[in-house]
Chain A
Amino acid sequence: QKEVEQNSGPLSVPEGAIASLNCTYSDRGSQSFFWYRQYSGKSPELIMSIYSNGDKEDGRFTAQLNKASQYVSLLIRDSQPSDSATYLCAVSTGNQFYFGTGTSLTVIP
């Protein structure tokens, strides 16, 4: 069974701090890795994609991928109250995306 595991949280950080979200996956054949943000009552919104080992930065967000350890992470720098949401890790092997159950993040002003 292909699994994606995330810490369910909740994770609370003060405004301006770095939030660190982690994800592990079980299928070594996974090709693509994504982070989605989901506000309460809304659909998931893609915020980062990463396909190869290493870091990928986009504004305040940095995704990190380590295929040997089957580990994906998301760092949010200078966290803002508007970052408060559930963050979903998603892994694709081709024909579908496998989602973690999400980590709830609260940024405290």
Chain B
Amino acid sequence: GAGVSQSPSNKVTEKGKDVELRCDPISGHTALYWYRQSLGQGLEFLIYFQGNSAPDKSGLPSDRFSAERTGGSVSTLTIQRTQQEDSAVYLCASSFREAGEAFFGQGTRLTVV
């Protein structure tokens, strides 16, 4: 595709439910990043994938959060047993190379009620 695609655009879920957020990076981009942005706040790093290397999970806030990247392309961020503090916009970005220009998707706005 022409850009990074994220789905769904919006997700409302009940506290305690699991959610899956999807990111389809730009074709050929080997690096993929997940960030989240709470209302009025800065971008918080979650996880980084580079090619076939082990992901950098240092930003995941708890063991309720996990992510995978299948075939070096599409990535799924899973949040288990969602809490209200998980409400935020989850942003995915991809870049052609490590430390190269990164382009963001439109984000998934997650609301936990």
Chain A interface residues (CB < 8 Å from chain B): 31-32, 34, 36, 42-46, 49, 88, 90, 92-102
A88-B43, A92-B99 known; 13 new pairs, CB 8 Å cut-off, are A43-B91, A43-B105, A43-B107, A44-B43, A44-B104, A49-B101, A92-B102, A95-B48, A95-B56, A97-B43, A97-B45, A101-B42, A102-B42
Chain B interface residues (CB < 8 Å from chain A): 33, 35, 41-43, 45, 48, 50, 56, 59, 89, 91, 93, 98-107
Q: Closest Cβ of chain A: how far from B2's Cβ, in Å?
A: 14
Chain B facing A: main interface SS: strand
Q: How far is the CA of A102 from the CA of B107 in the complex (A)?
A: 18
Question: Which of chain A's residues have a CB closer than 8 A to the CB of B99?
Answer: 31-32, 92-94
Residue of A nearest to B53 (CB): A95
